[in-house]
Chains A and B, each alone.
Chain A
């Protein structure tokens, strides 16, 4: 287990080497988050996966070429150049398959991914037998290894990440148009092919600079996960980009820090795990599209609907009990209420429990119920809205009176004050001396109707 002092040292970036690795990986995360957002919106995320796997043969070949030229064979720029070229070859193969045959995209991607990766594995095994140089460490491109970074690598990766990030922001408008509506963009005269190539070039750049720290198998996670997580938080593209960059940067930062503390864990896996946790949290709790907030919203609407149904049912019972026009707040029986709608005794008891807690009900003896002052007022209001809406539907939407109850049921719960006053105006009921319109259809208990 790492000591507390070690943890502090890593998190505060006190060690030069750690600082180098952590900052580089964070920049990589930012660039991947930005470019990945467009890739996600273009629905091409898996293309990044095929691309990263296609870099492997290039790494092996670049190593072999450098060794045969008498160079060290382990220089990062050389290896990354090889990776880039073979990644591009993979992309071109994919486009070739797509444009010249009738095979679908997923077939082209699966083919390129597996064939290039297989070739890469074979090439790596072959160059390991080459005399004169040790190829040990080339495998680290597969799973990622952050520890072995030197200053020159940092400059290379950081500047590439910087260029990619700036380019994603500069081409924001063009990429937005391309991702949203490609054929409109083409009709407008935008060079959509060129923009596509540019986007893929940025993806290639991120993939290649991510090879060393995250590894080619997992770099796709850094392209997909931060944008997908960011999408849960917002409906605005600019904000989504900022969040994706932040989430990507945080994943890189934290992941590289953790893996510095536990050097035996592959860095790529740790970074991806951090990104995965951030994604999970976003998916569950993000207010805009998260699962839990949505569940709460639905539950609160359901409760509101239940409450309004109960209050209206109670009010209609009171209307039936009252003589001579004036509705008075009296006690009524549970059985009467149960017959008003198609609810089970269990459901109704639950609803009544909520109503008690909300002070809409007062105790009235066994088997009897009585609305409170506020419950009675609310019941009158809800019933009135329901009838206004029903009348509107019958008058203006040609809905048969026998069906209107159901339709009104669905909408009335979300009627705002503004809509209600508009309804009143439309129906010519501005006159408040008629506060309660009569039901436009016969009121029958639903359970009795069956």
Chain B
């Protein structure tokens, strides 16, 4: 008898069920260097992100956090090194990756509604010329439901609050049903309600065995939301399980010299200890 497939996508795969994605770790980065106008932004990055973890990427402004994500997605040229998604270059495994860009990266005064934006997540599967149909709209609606703003589907996107816009971007990535999610500052300037919703979403994705790499700026919440952390300042200062890596010493190395931030770091450390 064939092994019974778990009916709900919410449950992690059972032992005798093979995961749908290829073997290998979700994201492996080797010797990655990225330079803009001859000024290096990332330097010799060596990183292996294990499967099924919620990973925070933390570092000061200009540390190359966004660039790290973009380099993984082939959006910026790599000066050297490579980034592999489940053992293959990104262009071979695009469908396994969901990308949530920074909210400020687009002009929200654009003549589309929330559902239209989420439906963009289905375009690739749809292919050239084909129009968004009922299947795509239903999938987009389900994704909006998952981030808790299904009632705003028809709302023009400029009429959404910042938090709601952020959720629209998350829904657009969800609709792809990827295995690895790369999120650029999803918690930036969102209301408390949205923050809760995003955390719930991350936990949900985690429960389904997905891997999330999240650029994060709020040191105080790192240990609360994430079980893995990458401390980045041009180089990887440290990477590993939060309780091992998220230490005063490492934070000092990452934010070295930026005294105003050490206060935040100290506060965050108190949270780790407690």
Contacts and interface: CB of A to CB of B under 8 A. Distances in A.
Interface of A: 41, 43, 102, 170-171, 173-174, 176-177, 179-181, 183-184, 186-190, 231, 234-237, 240
A235 B113 contact: yes
Contacts of B131: 173
A187 B111 contact: no
B124 A189 contact: yes
Contacts of A179: 110
A100 B107 CA distance: 26
A184 B176 CA distance: 13
Contact of B113 (A187, A236, A240): A236
Interface of B: 37, 70, 73-75, 91, 94, 97, 99, 101, 105-107, 110-113, 116-117, 120, 123-124, 126, 128-132, 156, 158, 172
Contacts of A231: 111
Nearest to A41: B110
Contact of A181 (B37, B73, B97, B120): B120
Given A180-B120, A189-B91, A240 B105 contact: no
Nearest to A179: B110
B160 to A, nearest CB: 12
Nearest to B102: A183
Given A174-B128, A187-B99, A181 B112 contact: no
B75 A188 contact: no
Nearest to B94: A189
A428 to B, nearest CB: 22
18 contacts: A41-B111, A173-B130, A179-B110, A181-B105, A184-B99, A184-B120, A186-B74, A186-B75, A187-B94, A187-B99, A189-B94, A189-B124, A190-B123, A190-B124, A235-B158, A236-B111, A236-B112, A237-B112
A102 B120 contact: no
Given A183-B75, A183-B101, A186-B75, A176 B124 contact: no
B112 A188 contact: no
Contacts of A102: 37
Nearest to B69: A187
B112 A173 contact: no
A173 B111 contact: no
Given A180-B106, A181-B106, A188 B111 contact: no
B103 to A, nearest CB: 11
Nearest to A184: B101
A174 B110 CA distance: 15
A170 B75 CA distance: 26
A237 B132 CA distance: 14
A183 B72 CA distance: 13
Given A173-B130, A187-B97, 18 more contacts: A41-B110, A173-B129, A173-B132, A174-B128, A176-B112, A180-B106, A181-B120, A184-B120, A186-B74, A188-B124, A190-B124, A231-B111, A234-B111, A235-B156, A235-B158, A236-B111, A237-B112, A240-B111
Contacts of B105: 181, 183
Contacts of A180: 106-107, 110, 112, 117, 120
Q: Which 9 A-B pairs rank lowest in CB-CB distance, beginning with the nearest? A: A235-B156, A187-B73, A188-B124, A237-B111, A187-B99, A181-B106, A189-B94, A240-B111, A235-B111
Contacts of B172: 184
Nearest to B120: A177
Contacts of B129: 170-171, 173
Given A177-B120, A188-B94, A183 B112 contact: no
